[in-house]
Structure 1
């Protein structure tokens, strides 16, 4: 077992390695596809975690292959550490939405700058939703051929992106764009309404 508890990033890498050996490069690509929409993970983090987990005996490095890429496989100790991590209750989520900070202090920005930020972010969320919808449309029709755990996270992504786009489309008057794309026209940011 490792000297320190697994962090969620290391645990996710061990989870992916249950599917078979992968290089650090493979893990970065796989993580971007599988969890990139809700969990940030950089290439440097992946290689740092792999080195630490190899030192702790949780993964084993294989022979270097093409382009000097080295595959890693999970060990029995790694499976045990992952099982221990997975059995613990997940930490509470903390919303970190940088655009909301900018909107909160939007009255200190030129209106056209805030409009640009809002339009750019709305387009990003629309693209993510389109990507999730494409994945959902490609799922097999037979329920037996679908991984329910992946479907559950996909459904969250669909619901989240739809909710965020609804938020953009219901921005208060001073932030509402004339073209309906989520950018702001003239005027400062309104103070968010009080919760009910």
Structure 2
């Protein structure tokens, strides 16, 4: 996946200025695909040069150079082409797992504090996802296909964090054994 495809998706949801797009991106797609605001602006320029999007001066911008970006048919076609491709499965590449292997081979290496720190970060993320779920997907709320898909994506994040928390709890227990 490229940043361009994430941006095309976001712009199809709502045409935006670069600034507004970056803010929305941080609060939604940014939970599973990170990009700096500088990367977003750079990619918007490339996408415009490729003919996937166009920008227009924002009518509410006054004297600023604020522009609103819109997806062109070529951008929609590119997103459809990309979405039809098989997505590669993500691979776990975590240096900490090698440290655990080293702990198993040469004895206790004092990894408990790192396990607890990592567990706490996943717990923080889970709390954030639960807060988003409570705010954006209340029981009995509107249930369009788009909202159900958005909730499904959020549930993937919730289950991901829950899985890691359970794993860290087991790892802490195992490493605490004498």
How high is the TM-score relative to the length of structure 1?
0.73
Q: 1:174 to 1:163 in 2, by over 3 A?
A: closer
Q: 1:153 to 1:83 in 2, by over 3 A?
A: same
CA distance in 1, matches of 2:9, 2:79: 7
1:46 corresponds to:
40
**Alignment size in residue pairs:** 170
CA displacement at 1:156 relative to structure 2: 0.8
CA distance in 2, matches of 1:108, 1:46: 45
Helix, strand or coil at the partner of 2:57: coil
2:163 corresponds to:
163
CA distance in 1, matches of 2:51, 2:108: 51
Runs of 4+ in 1 over 6 A off after TM superposition: none
Unaligned ranges ≥5, structure 2: none
2:18 corresponds to:
24
CA displacement at 1:21 relative to structure 2: 1.7
CA displacement at 1:85 relative to structure 2: 1.2
CA distance in 2, matches of 1:140, 1:174: 38
CA displacement at 1:108 relative to structure 2: 9.4
Q: 2:79 aligns with which of 74, 77, 82?
A: 82
CA distance in 2, matches of 1:23, 1:96: 35
2:125 corresponds to:
128
CA displacement at 1:47 relative to structure 2: 1.7
Higher-helix-fraction structure: 2
CA distance in 1, matches of 2:173, 2:80: 50
Unaligned ranges ≥5, structure 1: 1-6, 178-186, 188-196
Give the root-mean-square deviation of aligned CA atoms.
Answer: 2.7
CA distance in 2, matches of 1:154, 1:35: 10
* 1:19-53 alpha-carbon deviations (Å, 9 max, x no partner): 22212222222222212332222223212211110
Q: 1:69 aligns with which of 62, 66, 74?
A: 66
1:191 corresponds to:
none
How high is the TM-score relative to the length of structure 2?
0.80
Report if the CA contact (8 A) 1:169-1:176 is conserved. no
CA distance in 2, matches of 1:116, 1:28: 35
CA distance in 2, matches of 1:90, 1:44: 26
